[in-house]
Structure 1
Amino acid sequence: MPVMERAKETALTKFTSLVYLYTGLGVAFWLLSAFALAKNQAFTMPILTWGMQHRIIFTVLEIAIPIGLISLCQSLAQRSYFLTFICYLAFLASFALMGVPIFYAYSAKSILQAISMTAVAFVVMAGYGYVTRTDLMSWNKVLMTGLIAVIIVSILNLVLFKSSIAMLIINAVIMILFLGFIAFDSQNLKRIYHQYQGTNLGAIALVASISLVLDFINLLLSVLSIFGNNN
């Protein structure tokens, strides 16, 4: 392999390693933030109670605020690592409220088992996505269509049907979808690196890890919903 090619491969490896490091730290920060909020019931219970009373508004806010912060992170990434990092932490903190109920609903043993299962599945699918020679770009449309369909069905079930069996099926579909997203987003790291090489790659790595953090969290929540407390 020519020296130039080896240098490019080394730089790409460093970039992807940094992304996976940020992913692991991001998931850990999200879990710790959710745990801290769960312990502070005086602060979180009024919010969750309001959310149960206004489910549609609460769901929209839970989605809109993190998406807004993600967009802000993307706009800051090529200007300032520090501001991108602060925005990244704000995104994780805003998204942590979604994780609070798991500390009320599941035992510590179930949560640790689910994290272990999710981590193994993540490593397998991320490894596949990164090393496969198959172009996974064609998965994007299918995965996004499936995700939109699941969100619509979930809202309908939450508001109208309130079926536990339907929720179980939805979580199984979500689990499959996000296994696909992990592989897709891992392969996409190569495209991101080639698109932004020469710029502030530390901040770009932070932003690139957001997708993988979301993949891990959504997979974890689905695993807990299906297997939590051996129920």
Structure 2
Amino acid sequence: YKRHLSTTSNSQTPNSTMAKTKELSKDTRNKIVDLHQAGKTESAIEEDMENFEMAALPLETQRNIEADSFWCMSKLLDGIQDNYTFAQPGIQKKVKALEELISRIDENMHLHIQRCEVEYLQFAFRWMNNLLMRELPLRCTIRLWDTYQVFKAESEGFSHFHLYVCAAFLIKWRKEILSMLDFQGLLMLLQNLPTIHWGNEEVGLLLAEAYRLKYMFADAPRHYKR
């Protein structure tokens, strides 16, 4: 799709392309026009996605986006339904798994968190419940969840990989965590991590680290086992 837009924009102007579409069928003409409009919309969204006015899009496009978004969100949540049932057992289990994983990956940081008397449930519950949506800017959430869709084909779904993303996310702030010496300071840091300026590069590095941790620990459960 992007290659098509790039090739079209480099070799032809929109006006020349529109002139040639007169020789094509109505359906084909509509598709070409849609591609040009989509290219303009994509460019506008990339400039400032969070402030983009959805009302500027045609009504039919808005309805298609709404339907596609609902389908993607439903598919994403299918594998974590136990996160949202009574007592939320899925989240409780995942937070406990995160605590155990961190104790294996970085015992010093894990012990520091314990010494400050901060419970993993006090900060990681939100990470599991909202899939890091409240910790990252919208542009980063979209990038992250787009990757999660890939894991739908796996038997464990994306929730297992999300555990390693959370572990990588926590370890990312190791220096800042170790600099906090009391309960209040550490908890405030963990609940308000400075990610406001994050973009695709930071999320890409986070995902790469999560892949590495998953390869080391999920596929070798006794590796660094305490």
- Fold shared by both chains (TM-score > 0.5): no
Structure having the higher helix fraction is: 1
Rg larger for:
2
TM-score by length of 2: 0.30
